[in-house]
Structure 1
């Protein structure tokens, strides 16, 4: 029996290489690329633990499945997702061109009058918002790299305490960029209330050096894994970021992959956070991007005080921004109602560009670049 293939072996190999270049070969992205496919078909794709091998196996399976009985073509769904996740990267053009070539050969079904159609018990309403079950696993894995940040306050070199003697702590959220570098906001490490002057640089260094990150604080009785910070490696108030060096690498955790490309307006973004210092929570509903700028990404994703410093993810669980605040807005409508504010994050590409352009951060930039597999 002849096996029908949508693409030649050479075309399929080129597709695979472009996916690797676009950083789509990590486990979370591999699952997200299956979004919108028939779940029964997805369940037939074998699993292997090596990401590159999994990508090859998945593409081979898609390439030999021209059309399912429900009329869908899995490779079409994969290419659409790949083009979306690649954003403006050159790889996106390969995905869209391949998609156009495939869809031009997919036969259209017969035209049937609406009144002849039988009753349907299921229906996609506007956009298909379904995600593969692996999306949940990707979120769980990403969450292991997110921690509650406890920052002590220093005034003129003296550690401040509450009236009962307990340390005066500010809370936020932080996450792993590498195994021993964590990112949060400048204003989290600054440990000052609204209206106060910023901490001096010496106090800022003391506060950063005294910060403790609590990983695995997933519920109130969870045994947390504490990681101490030793140094403030980089900071910028305008971009509102602080890069912290941990005393020891978090070898048991995988750092979060970064997506430096601009996010499309109306794309969904998800946030894992510690709102008000409470156990870890995820916001992945009512979460569309409303504005994209060079140093500012705006979105509807819910946050609270204490969520500052959280990673803002795309659906492939790559970090696209560092959450920092909410801002008042005019004439923004969401779900049929006017809204007075939206949440704001600093695009991760802006933070990396700042590190790359600053000679004093040259070694730090190179360290992150190599770990994350970013272009020079």
Structure 2
């Protein structure tokens, strides 16, 4: 007997799509760790997260009904709920409740006579109201970079999306892998990379492909680093009314716990409207080169500025990384987002393009 019926397979796929898992390869890779070894051994990396989701659910559905596989399904459902949006979490919770009799623990009603004056819950997370205004001003420097696909020196179909931001009045920084405009793990040839960079445009007013400004053309690929996954682009003209973001070169202490240090990310996920991650956004770790954090991002956010509550740049967001033993908001987390620290990028830039480095705006 199979682990899942056809209707249960369909319901799992629907719940995963509703929860956004079909758009996150990192989440699916983390969930794969919860599969029993016999099922996980059959898993093959797919070119898109949508295909990966179909394969993973198919492997679960076609597995034999056994105690080990039942436990793997239970753990996969719990992990999928944790990684999903609120709507997907509710769907996965309902599936788990039917299958395993699991449900949310009831909350005892509060006796009004026991109410207290207002309290700070753990630590004070409020910010000045001007935080919103300063964030809006910072967002003006962030744009969606649209990269044409060139193969063998000739224009191909499709285009790639990333996020870029003003490092100086005439220069933006983004992730090099966004300019490669290839599936994960693949790179454009040096010639194609150069043509794609010159053919890219940065749109600072962008609400998706159907609603956008004309964008600013790229004049030159000034410098790029595979190690830092960073690229500096010179624009044809300085976009009017948009100030470069300030870079923060202060030393960063390692966070003592999940409440001590947060970062905010303005981004263009999947080439869609500009969005900001600033709610569940604790920093996990700091190294000489990298910053690890739980701030939400999605494909297309590569190149986004990772900022503190003063809207100064601390890192260049580039992707996600598997982590072990991390927990956040009471849940065990198998991965964290990661960015290249701006201190490392500016040290590199000073060596390869000192004239650009000299024009960078630093935090007051």
TM range, normalised to the smaller chain?
0.5 to 0.7
Alignment of 1:367 with 2:359, yes or no, is: yes
Structure 2 unaligned residues grouped into runs of 5+: 1-113
The residue aligned with 1:296 is 290
* Counterpart-to-counterpart distance in 2, 1:257 and 1:310: 14
Over 3 Å counting, the alpha-carbon distance change for 1:220 and 1:203 in structure 2 is: closer
Structure 1 unaligned residues grouped into runs of 5+: 1-117, 162-167
* Counterpart-to-counterpart distance in 1, 2:131 and 2:238: 27
Shift of 1:283: 0.4
**1:175-224 deviation line (CA, Å, top 9, x unaligned):** 1011110010010011111243x212221111110001111224787552
**1:121-176 deviation line (CA, Å, top 9, x unaligned):** 31112211111110000111111111111001112211112xxxxxx200011010
Aligned counterpart for 1:348 among listed residues 319, 342, 345: 342
**1:51-82 deviation line (CA, Å, top 9, x unaligned):** xxxxxxxxxxxxxxxxxxxxxxxxxxxxxxxx
Alignment of 1:176 with 2:166, yes or no, is: yes
| Aligned 8 A contact 1:262 1:292 in 2 | no
1:100-249 matched pairs, under 5 angstroms: 120-161=116-157, 168-196=158-186, 198-218=187-207, 222-249=211-238
| Aligned 8 A contact 1:270 1:314 in 2 | yes
| Aligned 8 A contact 1:179 1:251 in 2 | no
Shift of 1:251: 2.9
* Counterpart-to-counterpart distance in 1, 2:325 and 2:363: 38
Aligned residues: 246
The residue aligned with 2:30 is none
TM (norm. structure 2) is: 0.64
1:12-161 matched pairs, under 5 angstroms: 120-161=116-157
* Counterpart-to-counterpart distance in 1, 2:363 and 2:137: 21
Shift of 1:365: 2.1
Shift of 1:373: 4.9
* Counterpart-to-counterpart distance in 2, 1:190 and 1:119: 57
The residue aligned with 1:77 is none
| Aligned 8 A contact 2:324 2:334 in 1 | yes
The residue matched to 1:307 in structure 2 has which SS? Answer: coil
Over 3 Å counting, the alpha-carbon distance change for 1:221 and 1:191 in structure 2 is: closer
Over 3 Å counting, the alpha-carbon distance change for 1:337 and 1:355 in structure 2 is: same
**Moved >6 Å (runs of 4+):** none
The residue aligned with 2:86 is none
Alignment of 1:307 with 2:301, yes or no, is: yes
Shift of 1:335: 1.1
| Aligned 8 A contact 1:260 1:347 in 2 | no
* Counterpart-to-counterpart distance in 2, 1:218 and 1:139: 18
TM (norm. structure 1) is: 0.62
**1:263-290 deviation line (CA, Å, top 9, x unaligned):** 3324110000011111011100110111
The residue aligned with 2:60 is none
* Counterpart-to-counterpart distance in 1, 2:337 and 2:152: 33
* Counterpart-to-counterpart distance in 1, 2:202 and 2:209: 16
The residue matched to 1:272 in structure 2 has which SS? Answer: strand
* Counterpart-to-counterpart distance in 2, 1:192 and 1:171: 11
Aligned counterpart for 2:250 among listed residues 245, 261, 275: 261
